[in-house]
């Protein structure tokens, strides 16, 4: 096989600059091991980088099994046979101006994924792009064009409806929402320092007419109906699944962590006017009006450790008091009710289509080895050493006949900071157990596009069993298609889907690889020139 491409940290394909998060493609020295020695894919550019040429031989179109550098890894368990593999498209695949970013490079990437045997791709559809300027004015053109590209590539499409914003790349909520927020900051989640989180709306306003006379639930409903109508010819045939955004980063949680990769306990997010009003009413109804004055006064702050204050202490902490149980029960039930409203909405709209409905839960695994599990508590999951907080969540998913997306399937306890007392493996096992009990099917995701040590092995271990039927690898970009990563991903795909090796794909020596691939020297020259 021959692949001639540019491969560098800021990859360019056909003149499209992908920065640090977009496509960079393959090193020809490893490509014959990925696609088979007789397959041919040629991604080349003219010296002026004016056009992209792709040559596919008939053999390549049939796609042979991927050759693993370790034959044993290719032997899959029968329990993996039904797992479908998807790859997430770049978060900014469609620009804020509703145009496809780097369309030629994405088209080349789609062809590569199809040849590799990937089932489909996941596409984030941003509220802040589609309904950007005016409520009720939708612009779907960029996403429709991209969906057509996916259809033409012969891939399935899983759509994530994102009613939240993104920091990297920066994609805010719609402009008209921001204008409302300037005069009414209580539409946002608020911490005890009165700091707003402006990348999603507070769950406390779900049913309040705070959006120019409409409730957020009504606005989400109209958005989903418009999507369904605009993409009706693709529903079921190309669009196989739809994820409903449930909170920050699309996950069912409070924005308890404000800094990426923080190992602190986080902060409770119950201080906007409407959350405080709900808490006050609940406390009075329960006969404890003093409990409704606010969140815990003795909880640590965002980046502090559990023992920095009294609330989360393993022994004698306020979380085990009568007040602690009252507050944590209310706080978590508010979150579950929010998820129930949104998944019920999505099921009612898309239930009569062939597309399955999904919702995502977080993997708040820091401090899991403590008794109080503070990171989960501040995020809204009343899960402790003595209480299973995921039973009610799984039951809510089952009630709405929706599937649960579980991230972090590439994480292991071994590679977590010891001081965070983290256990992603135990938390994943607990969530999987609750899902099995309530008959909820899982869709897995990995945690990071930059890879984790032993990540692919952990993913395969987590895919075993009958409860996981879909895995989406996040996310297409420069590192994903780099020579350091893509061969490993290709090996992973083959080990899940293609246990039998074709004679053309038997291991070959390094010398044979170099001599049989004349494009290798060209690729190296291109990389040096780039």
In this structure, the number of other CB atoms found within 10 A of the CB of residue 351 comes to 14
pTM: 0.84
Across all residues in the chain, what is the average pLDDT?
84
Q: Does pLDDT of 59 surpass 80?
A: no
What does the chain come to in residues? 530
The answer to whether residues 8 and 468 touch, using CB atoms and an 8 Å cutoff, is no
- Tokens 């590799």 belong to residue: 116
DSSP 3-state assignment of 473? strand
Q: What is the CATH architecture of 84-497?
A: Alpha-Beta Barrel (3.20)
| 123: nearest Cα among 286, 239, 20, 277 | 239
Q: What are phi and psi of 40, to 5 degrees?
A: -140, 120
Q: Does pLDDT of 448 surpass 90?
A: no
Question: Rounded to whole angstroms, what are the CA distances from 451 to 151, 306, 468?
Answer: 28, 29, 21
| Residues paired with residue 122 on neighbouring β-strands, in sequence order | 88, 158
* Per-residue confidence band for 28, with pLDDT thresholds at 50, 70 and 90: very low
Question: Rounded mean pLDDT of 341-348?
Answer: 98
Question: Rounded to whole angstroms, what are the CA distances from 145 to 44, 50, 148, 266?
Answer: 24, 22, 5, 40
The reported pLDDT for the residue numbered 259 is 81
Residue ranges of domains in the chain = 84-497
Tokens read off for 37: 């020695």
pLDDT in tens, 232-278: 999 989 999 999 999 999 999 999 998 877 789 999 999 999 999 99
Helices (H), 206-321: 216-230, 273-285
Q: What share of the chain is helix, strand, coil (3-state, %, to 5)?
A: 40, 15, 45
């Amino acid at each position: 096989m021959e692949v001639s491409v540019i491969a560098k940290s800021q990859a360019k394909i056909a003149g499209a600059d992908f920065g640090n998060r977009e496509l960079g493609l393959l090193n020809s020295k490893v490509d014959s091991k990925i696609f088979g020695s007789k397959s041919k894919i040629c991604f080349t550019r003219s010296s002026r980088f004016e056009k992209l040429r792709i040559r596919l031989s008939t053999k390549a179109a049939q796609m042979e099994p991927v050759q693993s550098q370790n034959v044993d890894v290719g032997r899959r368990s029968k329990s993996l046979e039904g797992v479908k593999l998807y790859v997430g498209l770049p978060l900014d695949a469609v620009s804020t101006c509703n145009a496809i970013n780097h369309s030629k490079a994405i088209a080349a990437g789609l062809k590569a994924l199809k040849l590799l045997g990937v089932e489909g791709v996941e596409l984030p559809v941003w509220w802040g792009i589609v309904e950007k300027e005016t409520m009720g004015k939708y612009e779907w053109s960029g996403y429709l064009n991209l969906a057509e590209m996916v259809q033409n590539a012969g891939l399935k499409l899983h759509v994530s409806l994102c009613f939240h914003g993104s920091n990297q790349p920066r994609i805010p909520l719609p402009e008209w929402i921001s204008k409302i927020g300037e005069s009414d900051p209580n539409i946002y989640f608020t911490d005890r320092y009165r700091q707003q989180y402006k990348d999603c709306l507070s769950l406390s306003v779900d049913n309040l007419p705070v959006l120019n006379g409409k409730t957020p639930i009504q606005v989400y409903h109209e958005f989903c109906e418009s999507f369904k109508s605009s993409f009706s010819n693709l529903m079921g045939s190309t669009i196989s699944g739809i994820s409903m955004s449930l909170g920050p980063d699309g996950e069912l949680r409070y924005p308890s962590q404000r800094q990426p990769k923080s190992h602190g306990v986080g902060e409770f997010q119950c201080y906007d006017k409407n959350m405080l009003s709900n808490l006050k009413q609940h406390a009075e109804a329960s006969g404890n009006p003093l409990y409704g004055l606010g969140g815990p006064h003795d909880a640590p702050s965002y980046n502090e450790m559990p023992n920095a204050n009294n609330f989360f202490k393993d022994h004698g902490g306020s979380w085990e008091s009568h007040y602690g149980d009252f507050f944590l029960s209310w706080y978590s039930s508010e979150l579950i009710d929010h998820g129930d409203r949104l998944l019920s909405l999505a099921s009612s709209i898309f239930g009569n289509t062939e597309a399955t409905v999904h919702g995502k839960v977080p993997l708040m695994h820091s401090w899991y080895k403590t008794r109080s599990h503070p990171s989960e508590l501040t995020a809204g999951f009343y899960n402790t050493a003595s209480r299973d907080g995921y039973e009610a969540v799984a039951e809510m998913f089952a009630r709405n006949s929706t599937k649960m997306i579980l991230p972090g399937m590439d994480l292991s306890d071994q590679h977590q900071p010891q001081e965070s007392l983290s256990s992603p493996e135990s938390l994943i096992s607990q969530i999987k157990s609750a899902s099995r009990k309530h008959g909820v099917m899982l869709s897995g995701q990995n945690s990071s596009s930059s890879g984790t040590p032993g990540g692919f092995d952990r993913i395969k271990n987590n895919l075993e069993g009958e409860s996981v039927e879909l895995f989406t690898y996040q996310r297409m970009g420069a590192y994903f298609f780099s020579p350091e990563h893509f061969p490993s991903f290709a090996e992973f795909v083959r080990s899940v889907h293609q246990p039998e090796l074709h004679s053309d794909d038997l291991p070959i020596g390094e010398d044979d690889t170099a001599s049989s691939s004349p494009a290798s020297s060209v690729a190296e020259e291109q990389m040096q020139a780039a």
